[in-house]
Amino acid sequence: MSNETIWTWLRTKGKIFKVISNPDRGTIEVLNENGETLIRKTNLSRRQVELVEKYFLNSVAKKLNGSNEIHPRKPKDSFDPMVA
């Protein structure tokens, strides 16, 4: 059974990205509005994926599947941790 979680990431100017995280597979993928992959991280440890979910996704994204609804909070600055 897959432990996949799907999130919406509300961006500036009305853009909505889809984030798919899977600790079992060690992957995090960010898709744009057209379904194109913007970022794909693989070979991550379960702990790395869980940390991204806990600290990043819980503060800027809304969970689409599962029973717990997580409401996005507005970031206090323009820092974007997904941009290298």
Residue-wise pLDDT for 1-55, tens only, equals: 568 989 888 888 888 899 999 999 999 999 999 999 999 999 999 999 999 888 8
Residue extents of the structural domains in the chain: 5-63
How crowded is the C-beta side of 24, counted as CA atoms within 13 Å? 5
Report the pLDDT averaged over residues 53-69.
Answer: 69
C-alpha distances in Å from residue 78, one per residue of 4, 20, 70: 28, 23, 21
Q: Which two tokens stand for residue 49?
A: 């994926």
Closest listed residue to residue 27, CA positions, set 56, 49, 58: 49
